[in-house]
Amino acid sequence: MVLSDLEICKPTSTSHHEVGVSRSERDLPPAHYLFKIESYSELMNTEVEKYETNVFEAGGYKWKLILYPNGNIKSNGSGYVSLYLAIADTQKFSNGWEVNVNFKLFVFDKKNDNYLTIQDADGTVRKFHEKKTVWGFDQLISLETLLDSSKGYLVEDSCFFGAEVFVISQSGKWESLSMVKEPAHGTFTWKIENFSTLNETSHLSKSFTVGARDWKLRVYPKGDSQERGKYLSVFLKLTDCEKFPPNRTVYAKFKFGILDQLRNKYLEKNSTPLV
């Protein structure tokens, strides 16, 4: 996808509550709706003030576009094409309904084979509700620009308009991260008898409790699969995972030590992985 330089301009309609409008160009067509108007000049010369498209679906709701071919004169659209997104079939909704939407409107540029993309700046989300069922742009594109065939928007008296509608809805999912300022500390010592005679690939210690959670140590006398025959491998294992919700993550900071019995000194190694 190729985006041109972004143009930000202030709206001339109070319907935008002083939110800027951005205009850019892109190669991809609108994802949800595209409609073609043939003989645009004839539409301008009729007594029809506005044209409403067929209903289309996006984000689980039904929508339509409302086009003013000569501009919405009542809302400062004189000299422009005015285009709006309207939510449809609202009579089926319960009282107090609202739908939050981020949307884009489009005009096809046949000359450059891309789409002029018009949207509220900064990703503004618009709230549709029973008292406000229509949002859009009074000054989508100037009639001077549209009617100039050299610009590529109106070719052989035909043009295309489109829409993308993304509904912002709550999934009901959330999570909580709790950081312990002074975490619990504990020490566990495991004396392994007859170490040189151990034949199993790994050995598991008895359970011990630190920080209200149960742990075990797993030792690979001859190294695990990655360090087989090279090192002694030791791992810390959280053993009471069934007590926690699915996909719960526990963060632990720990240190391993092995006693040098001749010098009565521990060889230590720190580790801070996710457990």
pLDDT digits (tens, 9 = 90+) for 193-243: 888 888 888 888 999 988 878 899 999 888 887 777 788 888 888 888 777
Average pLDDT, the chain: 86
pLDDT of residue 273: 52
The values of phi and psi at residue 267, to 5°, are -90, 120
pLDDT of residue 39: 93
- 254 contact partners, CB below 8 Å, separation of at least 6: 236, 270, 271, 272
| pLDDT level of residue 264 (50, 70, 90 thresholds) | confident
| pLDDT level of residue 170 (50, 70, 90 thresholds) | confident
Q: Check if the beta carbon of residue 202 is closer than 8 Å to that of residue 235.
A: no
What is the distance of C-alpha 219 from the center of its chain? 43
Please calculate the CA angle 51-123-131 and round it to the nearest 5 degrees: 50
Q: Check if the beta carbon of residue 168 is closer than 8 Å to that of residue 100.
A: yes
User: pLDDT by residue (tens digit) across 91-148?
Assistant: 989 999 999 999 999 999 999 999 999 999 988 999 999 999 999 999 999 999 999 9
Topology given in CATH for the domain delimited by 7-168: 2.60.210
Q: Is the pTM of this model over 0.75?
A: no
Query: For the ranges 9-23, 55-69, 73-87, which has the lowest average pLDDT?
Result: 9-23
The residue with tokens 């008895």 is 206
Of residues 141, 31, 38, the one with CA closest to residue 83: 141
Look up residue 58 and give its two tokens.
């996006």
Structural domain spans, the chain: 7-168, 195-271
DSSP state of 222: T
User: pLDDT by residue (tens digit) across 70-107?
Assistant: 999 999 999 999 999 999 999 989 999 999 999 999 99
